[in-house]
Chain A
Amino acid sequence: MLQYVNVNIDGANIRTPRGTSVLDTAIENGICIPHLCHVSYLSDIGACRLCIVEHVINGRSNITTSCTLNVEEGMVILTNTERVQKLRRNIAELLVAQAPNSRAIQDMAVRCGVKEVRYPFRNDDCVLCGRCVRVCTEVWKAQAIGFVGRGKDRHVDYPFGIRPDFCKLCGSCVQLCPMTITPCDGPMKPGEERLCGKCEAQLIISEPTPGSCVWCKLGEGFGCGRYA
């Protein structure tokens, strides 16, 4: 039998099954928490740190990722305070500077309110969100790809760089990769240190209400859990 707990997210009292994460609860109830590495049917690792929220305990607030935080009775969560928005914007800025040509990451950055990028662009494309590794490991139990290396050398690869037989080329990894979403016509060029602005049209709907989900097209871009 499902047990329910009462949590308070952004002032709304929500009754939700025990064992769900704060992020899932928020998405289900129309509260917008931008996220990237979270996929509803995969385990959460808290790698992208975009879904950070303020968890208020005894008047002190801790910053933590909502995807790895499970709901508990009487929990108080603030998802879109100025502090959280600023931190989220800074993380999104780091990501978009790393992979400026990914539409998913651009959309996500725009949703997080990134207006300018203060770092020189790199075109690394992969932001190590780990969606591909987790779908291969958890859904197909294949472990055909995994993380290799540490720190700045970390990348996704086959074991020893050779495609193993148990990779059936199913393409699940490609499906989930934020780089494979069909780009729009205005991706950023290296050296052009600004967002293209075309997706900013979306902000007319989403910006006035940063904390609530308005089914913006941006979410479709970065694979928002609400579209899953």
Chain B
Amino acid sequence: MPSLNSIRELEHMRERLQEQRQNITTTVMVCGGTGCQASGSQAVISAIRDELSRQKVGPSVRLCVTGCHGFCEQGPVIIIEPGNIFYCSVSPEDAFEIVSQTLVQGEIIERLLYTDPVSGKKIQTELEIPFYQAQDRQLLSKNLLVDPCSIEDYIVTGGYSALTNVLNGMAPEEVINEVKSSGLRGRGGGGFPTGRKWSECREAPGDEKYVICNADEGDPGAYMDRCVLEGNPHLVLEGMMIGAWSIGAQKGYVYVRNEYPLAVKHSRIAVEQARELGLLGENILGSSFSFDVDIARGGGAFVCGESTALMDSLEGKIGEPKPKDVHTVVNGLYHKPTTLNNVETWANVPSIILNGSAWFASKGTRGSTGTKILALTGKIKNTGLVEVAMGTPIRKIVYDVGGGALNGKQIKAVQTGGPSGGCLPVDKFDLAVDFEELSEAGSMVGSGGMVVMDEESCMVDVAKYFLTFLQDESCGKCVPCRLGIDRMLEIITDITEGRGRPEQLDLLEELADTVSQTALCGLGKTAPNPVLSTLRYFRVEYEAHIKEKKCPAGVCKALITYSIDPNQCNGCGVCARACAYGAISGKKKQVYVIDSQLCQKCGICRSECKFNAIQVA
């Protein structure tokens, strides 16, 4: 590919590519994201490719392997344009039918359509699916249009036009003011105004400056950064270029965790392609702007998502947070002014430049503008990546997008913001996904994890789970975080194992408060949130564990016993066969009994029993 030396050459290339693609009538978009690959999309892709050549379908049909569509639960997912036909859970055997019926004859295959779990109806198009209908997909919808390994795809769909707009006569201050007035705030968790960060970095003394894209996403169950970076790496690169140009940086890094092989691969390919086209390197598109990006892989430490630790890690040192009395926008990577933003933040920049700050600010609330991708998981009907406008109430996300509780159970709480976020009870579901509103309620937007819990989740156990995670991932540098989390976990373990004492609750609260006020970095400061929020909203559960030595949700093994209800048991013996410990005995057609001495409380009998005869108390 020849290198592009001016903005006009880029526009020519775009026009030429658009002409070439005019005779494509049908596009088959198969999701090649990590989620769908796990459910076998690679085999589906090669099966469809084979079928296309075997049935001699001409060049009018194009197969596009895209990034994540968001509905990972239903993967592998295929969308066929025109018609917006949505097929889910496709297997390689379906390839013949998809090609011969849908692509050639234009018929819909009923069997592969999505069934709405609420109404039970088959839904033909993607846009009609309730999961997608309630969303406002600005970033995720771009994933559908491009093959992440192809810069042509990105350019055809208008890519790098924000960069040309900027290079074509916008002053750096103008760009920064545009970002400022858009109200864009850091999507990685902190919610710091991006425009302010940029202008502080621009004003910081020094010629050598850096921009960093933080793709070291590690929250359990959250994967929005992965999805954006692996699904549309050029969008992130374009955002970084615009940022680098406006603050005056010459070098950028994408710090991506090594556990995201596809994101590493795609971002590397994207950087190489951009370099080849002259979109990275010296004098980009004939302007005076020179900028290059390198991909750095993280070594698997959660704490390296913290900005100062990430910069230490980039420098080749141990990734440990440093005190931020002098901000990284003044003294960051290699002691130079550095702007670090999250993947999603960078990805929002090109559309702000293209559509204007007013367009961006029109979405969301006054303090929190734009859209936010959330990773919706837990005990609800639809799980996956969800992009909604900021300010959308939690209730709408859980019930409209998520489809409500599974198996007719009652939803009890939602945990927002990853391990450092908090648990909000059902009566707080009218709160909006908004930086201020959630932190006032003791939780946070965070990076956007959203785990829904139902009546079978024990909130003490949830707090214990997140503390265990944070204890493993704390760097151990400062005392409140290292010893504080350790002691909190010790107390909570005591409570879940029936050794809890009432006075421990006050100690737990005091300790959590101390850690949140005195820890060195953001990880430590937010680490007590799971404890503080569950203590605030679910204190009754803690008290039940301590005073009555009972786990109301039937989760904490030390506090529960399994028994068989003689009125429900019909003596089928399924439970006895399922029990790995031989703890259930009895005769056919008679009531079975559980030997509490042998029972390991694994719960297999309960899930096997079809008559709800196994009781937990």
Pairs across A and B, CB under 8 Å, 24 listed: A45-B323, A46-B323, A46-B478, A47-B477, A47-B479, A48-B479, A49-B518, A63-B517, A64-B325, A65-B520, A68-B325, A69-B323, A90-B511, A94-B479, A94-B483, A94-B484, A95-B483, A98-B483, A128-B482, A150-B475, A151-B482, A152-B476, A153-B476, A154-B475
B466-485 at interface with A (beta carbon < 8 Å): 471-480, 482-484
Contacts of B276 in A (CB 8 A): none
Which of A64, A127, A149, A151 is within 8 Å of B471, CB to CB?
Answer: A151
The answer to whether the Cβ of A215 comes within 8 Å of any Cβ in the partner chain is: no
Extra pairs beyond A49-B480, A69-B323 (15, CB < 8 Å): A48-B479, A63-B517, A86-B514, A90-B514, A94-B511, A98-B483, A127-B479, A128-B477, A149-B476, A150-B473, A151-B472, A151-B482, A152-B474, A152-B476, A154-B477
A97 to B487, CA, bound (A): 10
The answer to whether the Cβ of A147 comes within 8 Å of any Cβ in the partner chain is: yes
Q: What sequence of 0s and 1s flags, for each residue 154-177 of chain B, a beta carbon within 8 Å of any chain A beta carbon?
A: 000000000000000000000000
Shortest Cβ distance from residue A35 to the other chain B in the assembled complex, whole angstroms:
12
A78-126 at interface with B (beta carbon < 8 Å): 86-87, 90-91, 94-95, 97-98, 118-120
**In the complex, what residue of chain B is closest to A98 when comparing beta carbons?**
B483
**In the complex, what residue of chain B is closest to A95 when comparing beta carbons?**
B479
A65 to B475, CA, bound (A): 18
Contacts of B511 in A (CB 8 A): 90, 94
A149-197 at interface with B (beta carbon < 8 Å): 149-154
Contacts of B472 in A (CB 8 A): 151-152
A86 to B517, CA, bound (A): 11
A45-B477, A152-B482 given as contacts; is B514 within 8 A of A69 (CB)?
A: no
A154 to B477, CA, bound (A): 8
Contacts of A90 in B (CB 8 A): 510-511, 514
The answer to whether the Cβ of A52 comes within 8 Å of any Cβ in the partner chain is: yes
The answer to whether the Cβ of B486 comes within 8 Å of any Cβ in the partner chain is: yes
Contacts of B280 in A (CB 8 A): none
A147 to B318, CA, bound (A): 9
**In the complex, what residue of chain A is closest to B326 when comparing beta carbons?**
A70
A91-B514, A95-B483 given as contacts; is B520 within 8 A of A49 (CB)?
A: yes
The answer to whether the Cβ of B228 comes within 8 Å of any Cβ in the partner chain is: no
The answer to whether the Cβ of B507 comes within 8 Å of any Cβ in the partner chain is: yes
Contacts of A68 in B (CB 8 A): 323, 325
Contacts of B477 in A (CB 8 A): 45, 47, 128, 154
Are B478 and A49 interface neighbours, CB within 8 A?
yes
The answer to whether the Cβ of B490 comes within 8 Å of any Cβ in the partner chain is: yes
Contacts of A49 in B (CB 8 A): 478-480, 518-520
Are B487 and A94 interface neighbours, CB within 8 A?
yes
Q: Which B residues contact A (CB, under 8 angstroms)?
A: 301, 303, 318, 322-323, 325, 471-480, 482-484, 486-487, 490, 507, 510-511, 514, 517-520
Contacts of B473 in A (CB 8 A): 150-151
A120 to B487, CA, bound (A): 9
Are B518 and A151 interface neighbours, CB within 8 A?
no
Shortest Cβ distance from residue A170 to the other chain B in the assembled complex, whole angstroms:
24
Are A150 and B476 interface neighbours, CB within 8 A?
yes
**In the complex, what residue of chain B is closest to A70 when comparing beta carbons?**
B325
A41-85 at interface with B (beta carbon < 8 Å): 45-50, 52, 63-65, 68-70
Are A91 and B479 interface neighbours, CB within 8 A?
yes
A37 to B248, CA, bound (A): 38
Are B323 and A87 interface neighbours, CB within 8 A?
no
Shortest Cβ distance from residue B228 to the other chain A in the assembled complex, whole angstroms:
28
**In the complex, what residue of chain B is closest to A68 when comparing beta carbons?**
B323
Are B325 and A119 interface neighbours, CB within 8 A?
no
Shortest Cβ distance from residue B250 to the other chain A in the assembled complex, whole angstroms:
29
Of residues A47, A90, A127, A151, which shows the largest number of chain B Cβ atoms within 10 Å of its Cβ? A151
A87-B514, A87-B517 given as contacts; is B478 within 8 A of A152 (CB)?
A: no
Contacts of B486 in A (CB 8 A): 152
Of residues B318, B472, B487, which shows the largest number of chain A Cβ atoms within 10 Å of its Cβ? B487
Are B474 and A151 interface neighbours, CB within 8 A?
yes
Shortest Cβ distance from residue A118 to the other chain B in the assembled complex, whole angstroms:
5
A68-B323, A94-B484, A128-B482 given as contacts; is B520 within 8 A of A151 (CB)?
A: no
Shortest Cβ distance from residue A43 to the other chain B in the assembled complex, whole angstroms:
11
- Report the 3 A-B pairs with minimum CB-CB distance, sorted nearest first: A154-B476, A68-B323, A90-B514
Shortest Cβ distance from residue B7 to the other chain A in the assembled complex, whole angstroms:
45
**In the complex, what residue of chain A is closest to B318 when comparing beta carbons?**
A147
Are B480 and A152 interface neighbours, CB within 8 A?
no
Shortest Cβ distance from residue A158 to the other chain B in the assembled complex, whole angstroms:
16
Are A46 and B520 interface neighbours, CB within 8 A?
yes
A49 to B517, CA, bound (A): 10
Are B480 and A91 interface neighbours, CB within 8 A?
yes
A67 to B475, CA, bound (A): 20
**In the complex, what residue of chain A is closest to B520 when comparing beta carbons?**
A46
A68 to B308, CA, bound (A): 15
Contacts of A147 in B (CB 8 A): 318, 476
Are B518 and A87 interface neighbours, CB within 8 A?
yes
Contacts of A86 in B (CB 8 A): 514
Shortest Cβ distance from residue B258 to the other chain A in the assembled complex, whole angstroms:
16
Contacts of A128 in B (CB 8 A): 476-477, 482
